[in-house]
Amino acid sequence: MRLFLNPTPIKFIRSLFSSPRSKSPPLRPIRAGSSPSTAIAMATITKSTSLGAVAEEGIARRFWIKFRKESTLALYTPFVVCLASGDLRLDSFRQYVAQDFHFLKTFAQAYELAEECADDDDAKAAISQLRKAVIEELKMHDSFVQEWGSDMVKDCRLNSATVKYTDFLLATASGKVEGVKGPGKLATPFEKTKLAAYTLGAMTPCMKLYAFIGSELQALLDSNKSSRHLYQKWVDNYACESFQASALQTEDLLDKLSVSLTGEELDIIEKLYHQAMKLEIEFFCAQPLNQQTVVPLLTEHKPADNRCLIFSDFDLTCTVVDSSAILAEIAIVTAPKSDQSQAENQIVRMSSADLRNTWGVLSRQYTEEHEQCIERILLPDKAERFYYEGLHKALEQLSVFEKGANSRVIESGVLKGLNLEDIKRAGERLILQDGCTDFFQSIIKNANLNSNIHVLSYCWCGDLIRSAFSSGGLNVLNVHANEFVYDNSVSTGEIVRKVESPIDKVQAFRDILTNHRSEKKDFTVYIGDSVGDLLCLLEADVGIVLGSSSSLRRVGSHFGVSFIPLFPGLVKKQKECVEGSSSSWKGLSGILYTVSSWAEIHAFILGIERFMRQSSRNGGLSTLSYYMSKLSGTLVLSQVIAVRNFVEWPFRGNMLYVDVVALVLMEISSCRPFLDLSTLHK
Phi and psi torsions of 434, nearest 5°: -55, 125
Peptide bond into 296 cis (omega under 30): yes
Structure letter (DSSP) for residue 295: -
| Helical segments of 3-49, H only | 11-18, 36-40
Distance of CA 77 to the CA centre of its chain: 17
Torsion over CA of 107, 108, 110 and 112, rounded to 10 degrees?
A: 170
Q: Rounded to 5, what percent of the chain is helix, strand, coil?
A: 60, 10, 35
d(CA 669, CA 13): 10
Q: Identify residue 49 by its one-letter amino acid code.
A: T
DSSP H/E element including 545 = strand 542-546
- Whole-number Cα distances in Å, 414 to 334, 355, 462, 491, 505: 12, 6, 17, 10, 25
Find the helix or strand (DSSP H, E) in which 451 lies: strand 451-456
Kindly report the number of other CB atoms within 10 A of residue 488's CB atom: 9
C-alpha closest to that of 417 among 481, 489, 467: 489
> Is 184 buried (19+), middle (13-18) or exposed (0-12) by CB count in 10 A?
exposed
Residue type, 604: F
C-alpha 71/C-alpha 98 separation (Å) is: 23
Q: Is 117 noted as a catalytic residue in this protein?
A: no
Q: Which helix (H) or strand (E) holds 466?
A: helix 462-470
From the list 137, 280, 500, 667, the catalytic residue is: 280
Which among 559, 513, 556 has a CA at the least distance from the CA of 537?
556
Give φ, ψ of 88 to 5 degrees.
-60, 130
**Alpha-helical segments (H) within 90-188:** 90-117, 121-148, 160-173
**Known catalytic residue at 112:** no
Phi, psi of 672 (to 5 degrees): -90, 160
Distance CA 332, CA 355 (A): 6
Q: Which of 82, 117, 206, 308 is catalytic?
A: 206
Output DSSP code: residue 533.
Answer: G
Neighbours of 401 (CB within 10 A): 18
Active site residues: 206, 280
